[in-house]
Structure 1
Amino acid sequence: MTSAKSEASTRQPEVAVVRQPILDSRRKVVGYELTFGEGSAPGGASGSGSSAPATSALLLDVFGDLGLERLVGAYPAWLSVARDWLVDVGMPPLRPDRAVLQIAAYPCRDDLLSTLQRLSRSGYAIALEKYDGRKDLGDLLAICSTVKIDVGRHDDEALRAIIADPLQYGARLIACNVVTNEDFDRCQALGFTGFQGAFFARPRLVRGRGVATSGIGALRTLGELSGGELSFEDLDRIIAADIGLSLKLLRYVNSAFFALPRTIGSVREALAMLGSRTVSRWATVMALSTIPDAPNELIEIGLRRAHMCEVLAPAGEGESSFTVGLFSVADALLDAPMSDVLDSLPFSEDVCEALLHHTGSKGELLAAVIGYENGAFPELPDGCAKPGASLALAYREAIEWADELGAAGA
């Protein structure tokens, strides 16, 4: 399956694009902002939507070669668009419920104002991005239903002043660059209802507390599943001992993801049909997803990183690189320091160093994968990936793979 998808991916243009989740106060995804790498759009244009040609190139890629459904699923895509493009085009070539149009926060001419008013009346959601509290944007604030603010640059007193006008207009506030869980808490207290940043992929640590009791069972199962080469009998015993894991695994193997010719009714039958290696890997994935209150988006990030690390890794390193990518979110899932999580898992020294410090070839690969998903679009360091490997192609393939697997295991 993977090889077929890889062959299909090689026929696509290498457009560097990532989706970055926007979450509500319950940490549930409500949309994805699409960010394109510099020079990745046709003709070397920036994919940020900062000019009319760049916006046209971005939308061509999204609706043509890449496919909006493949990038964001059923969620709306948040797209930065150029003002002159909106004036020229008038009505974007997409349904109002499928996108949020983002425009930069500075005064606009009458022709743009008329265009935005028409778009708003037609049902399009318009967001004012990079808003810093300037006082000459009343016309835009009256139209834009959402205002995005970089909270990392301001203290609480400054933020209260910045959000005063948007609140007067009834705008929804999105906090951007929310790095820590403390940032999330303070922004929520200030009245923000949408959040964007790395905070949700970091553990909520409590001084003096290790892995929470609610996660110990999952961690124990993960430790057994990660204990080297497991026999058919070992896997059957480990999985069958966890009723919840057994049910999730059987639901998964009977899903359209595998399209098996008949229904599988037991863990032993799944092992016989799919093989110990396949069942062991996906039992590990399912065990992570059984952690109480595990956010779906965090599980998807782990799956995406795992797949990217596996397909980018040098020959013979795919399996251990998959593990590094998958467990890179284990600290956030268990709300515990990574060192405490690793104390309970029988990983090799190079895997532990990769997860703790991003060192060694596996750690450098993981750091590049994380940098790419955060929109930094780095180059792959020498020696950590197979020849000809592409972060752009691996990312797009991993999104589709993780979404399919997430749906199968739901």
Structure 2
Amino acid sequence: MKKIMVVDDEKISLMMTSHILSSAYETLSASSGAEAIEIYKKEKPDMILSDLRMPGMSGYELQQTLQKEFEETIPFMFMTADTDEETESKGFENGAMDFIRKPFRADVLLKRVGNILQTVEKIQGLKKAAVMDPMTGLLNKASAEREISGLCKSARGALLMMDLDSFKLVNDIYGHAMGDKILIRFAEILRAVVRPIDVIGRLGGDEFIAFCQNVSEEIVIEKKSRFINKYIMEAAREFMGEDMNIPLGASIGCVFVPDEGVDFSMLHEKADKALYAVKQRGKHGYLLYTDLSADSVKDEKQNTDLANLIKVLGERNKGRGAFVLPFERFQTAYQFLSRLNINYQKEICLLLFSIKEKEHAVIPVEDALDEFIEVLGLSLRQSDLVTKNGKNQCLVILPETSVQNVAVVKERIMKKWEEADSSAMFDIKIESGKME
């Protein structure tokens, strides 16, 4: 049951309002702003209904104090006997979600409170959808990398790159529905092996990432690896039968932070290199980046066996749709294609998407951009390239696409975007050009 805290220095008004709300909600009562703060610390109500004018601390001051102390948006509704429209306007400027004038009818109060709580639930749902991977419930790629990047700069711990061994065989033999069940169970296993203070996300396909805070010993990584590999095989036999013979397991590459640096891109590359080494050494295990000998790193760089070089250079677990790159790598690809175009004169088009929030947007533009990039990844070809440009723009390269066909591509993208949760809250401006 939702908790509503009623704050009013007038005892009769406080009792009557609490009585009305108690028919549908659990109510908490406070007769002053100071008392309300203490109750909020202990109970964390879902909403606060406060009288506007109170001695000592006004409703405005209570709202500002709570939001400053707890650094979160708290749903507030003010009660007042004032008829001055300026009072109401000031309340909304301070972040109130609604106003109700005394005296009020019971049914009107219940309706307005219900509307606020429904709005809050919708906002929370939209925020969650923007950062979560819909299949596994873990953080999505953009959100996980953003959070872990911040932790790498400020915390000690272990950065883990993980993927499932032989997962493709599950899809090929048992179908994608079974593959999805395995991915969901794998996510549950990963949740069980990390703590609430750790960050874990799905990068896409069967690739996952985690940052385990204050972990700096190999024995911890070894235990996690054994746990993961034991239970993913148990899950495989549970879902596919005891006679299942796919060598399913997990490979883990680990790098300790800040021992190996604090830059996320560099740490990601090192952990990925350790992960690749696990794959080469038989899978189903872990490897610390520090355990890669100088000779093996040197051999990897100087490997002249073409077959091995192709493995090293190739993209592991190619995903569907466009190739999403960091801006620096995108710039290198652009420069290469520009050179290539001098000799072969292929039509290469570019699209620049700019995202602008509308007045009723309830999520940051950065989260909307991440969601839009996921839409691009699903709407474009594997040969198309995508990158972020700042907080609200993304750039697309469309190789071998004529100017005439760009309109079709735009229409496909925008149609897919209209299905996204955030689309109604943001405007998209599109500019197009041709590589000369």
TM score, norm. by length of structure 1: 0.25
TM-score by length of 2: 0.24
